[in-house]
Amino acid sequence: MRILLIEDDDDIAGRLATGLQPAGFVVERADNGEDGYELGAAGSFDAVILDLGLPNMEGLAVLRKWRAEGRDMPTLILTARGTWTEKVEGLNAGADDYITKPFHIPEVVARLRALIRRKSGVATPLLTHKAIALDTVAGKASVNGAPVELTGLELRMLSYFMHRIGRVISQSELMEHLYALEGSAESNTIEVYISRLRRKLGRDVITTVRGLGYRMD
């Protein structure tokens, strides 16, 4: 899952990036409102963590602008200002949830997961599709009730597909959402992981759509 983090405080941003990575999130950061707005307007993110007090452009202005343009990515407001009026203002501006500093990483992770689940119309952390079950909190998968050992990246890829049943997903979309930009991967590694998932979960679990990508249905 690819997260846009807009936060000007280096310590907080560093803590979030370090904490979110092991939970399977790829974090891209902007340290001011203007850059954050541009990134969010141009890229595709599964969720946004948005600070309110930002240089160049206030967090609320960034959010209002996106929403006015029809950008609906789930947005979690992160703010030191814990007053109820600001929470109300944030939610009214189009935020989906908020978290008050100081925060605990597991709470941020849980809230992000909940937002992403809700966006894809899934209400519980246990995703099921045909014979496959995936517990996104425990990071465990099974086929017909039998546990299947998956690596971190295989789990992330399976989760990405299971949040998008019936949709064609291109190789570049998978690369963008599953790898951090620095650790860029080659497109053939996506094929390798797809074939591993097929081997572990069943041959027909993921369909290749010629010239377009892959689909789980």
- Binding segment (CB under 5 A) for Ca ion, from list 20-28, 43-51, 83-91, 145-153: 43-51
Residue 24 structure tokens = 């399977």
CA angle 95, 117, 24 (to 5 degrees): 100
Strands 97-100 and 140-143: unpaired
Does position 53 interact with Ca ion (CB under 5 A)? The reply is yes
Structural Rg of the chain based on CA atoms: 18
Report which DSSP code applies to 21: G
The alpha-helical segments, DSSP class H, found in 57-141 are: 59-68, 84-92, 105-119
Does position 8 interact with Ca ion (CB under 5 A)? The reply is yes
Q: Rounded to whole angstroms, how far apart are CA atoms 174 and 39?
A: 18
**Token pair 């997961």 in the structure block, residue:** 113
- Is the Cβ of residue 53 or residue 125 nearer to Ca ion in the bound state? 53
- Binding segment (CB under 5 A) for Ca ion, from list 4-12, 149-157, 190-198, 204-212: 4-12
Please list, in sequence order, all residues whose beta carbon lies within 8 angstroms of the beta carbon of residue 38, skipping any fewer than 6 positions away: 30
Does position 51 interact with Ca ion (CB under 5 A)? The reply is yes
- Binding segment (CB under 5 A) for Ca ion, from list 3-11, 41-49, 139-147, 149-157: 3-11
- Is the Cβ of residue 33 or residue 213 nearer to Ca ion in the bound state? 33
- Is the Cβ of residue 53 or residue 94 nearer to Ca ion in the bound state? 53
Q: How far is the CB of 22 from Ca ion (least distance, A)?
A: 25
- Is the Cβ of residue 8 or residue 28 nearer to Ca ion in the bound state? 8
- Is the Cβ of residue 8 or residue 46 nearer to Ca ion in the bound state? 8
Count interface residues toward Ca ion (CB under 5 A).
3
Q: Which residues bind Ca ion (CB under 5 A)?
A: 8, 51, 53
